[in-house]
Chains A and B, each alone.
Chain A
Amino acid sequence: EAEVAQSPRYKITEKSQAVAFWCDPISGHATLYWYRQILGQGPELLVQFQDESVVDDSQLPKDRFSAERLKGVDSTLKIQPAELGDSAMYLCASSFRGRNNEQFFGPGTRLTVL
């Protein structure tokens, strides 16, 4: 069964360092989402791509976060510099058509900032 792949699964970094997360969506899924989940809360959208274009990044802290999906397939989310409050689970999801179809989530990357 096709799955969303994410790496790394776990990342520990020190404050002010740069970190990057990678996501490979299910083949053929044009829409890709990055969510952040703080412990004990539900996920919140950071950025949504339709193919290679950003369609929603209203909640992305653009002073330190960046995201790209250059060829409309896999995607990278970067944080520079990391802050203590960035410790969270970063989840990637994909769907066949952003508006109509079910979202499928990857296993997530657990980030700890020391």
Chain B
Amino acid sequence: KQEVTQIPAALSVPEGENLVLNCSFTDSAIYNLQWFRQDPGKGLTSLLLIQSSQREQTSGRLNASLDKSSGRSTLYIAASQPGDSATYLCAVRQDNQGGKLIFGQGTELSVKP
């Protein structure tokens, strides 16, 4: 059974710092991996999607990498801003799951001015 883990559960950094959020998964037979942002009490906003054949994806100050063989993904945020404060969730889609996403528990990020 696929399990997705995110470490740390919470992270607090000063504004301007570069940071890395970690996601690991137990079954490497994934189809793709998606990173989401969730503001308190809100829905999920898709940030980046990496297909299993890709190594990384970039969008603005965000860069996500995927190492399928080791079961790891990282989300790199450059020059963090207070507006980046939110919970970040990673989720994997498996070949045999018909499309459902399996989520980690999230990392709650706080960027202090």
Seen from chain A, the residues whose Cβ lies within 8 Å of a Cβ on chain B are 4, 6, 31, 33, 35, 40-45, 48, 55-56, 89, 91, 93, 95, 98-100, 102-108, 110
Contact = CB atoms under 8 A, between A and B. Distances in A.
Interface residues of B, number: 22
Contacts of A99: 31, 98-99
Contact of B106 (A33, A42, A93, A108): A42
A4 to B, nearest CB: 8
Interface stretch (B11-19, B43-51, B65-73, B76-84): B43-51
Interface string B91-113: 10000011111011110000000
Contact of B100 (A33, A91, A108): A33
Interface of B is mostly: strand
Contact of A43 (B31, B46, B99, B103): B103
Contacts of A107: 42-43
Interface of A is mostly: strand
Given A42-B4, A42-B89, A42-B91, A103 B43 contact: no
Contacts of A89: 41
Contacts of A31: 99
Contacts of B106: 41-42
A4 B42 CA distance: 13
Nearest to A59: B100
A49 to B, nearest CB: 11
A56 B93 CA distance: 14
Contacts of B44: 43, 91, 93, 105
Contact of B46 (A44, A56, A98, A105): A105
Nearest to A55: B98
A42 B98 contact: no
Nearest to B100: A45
B34 interface: yes
Nearest to A9: B41
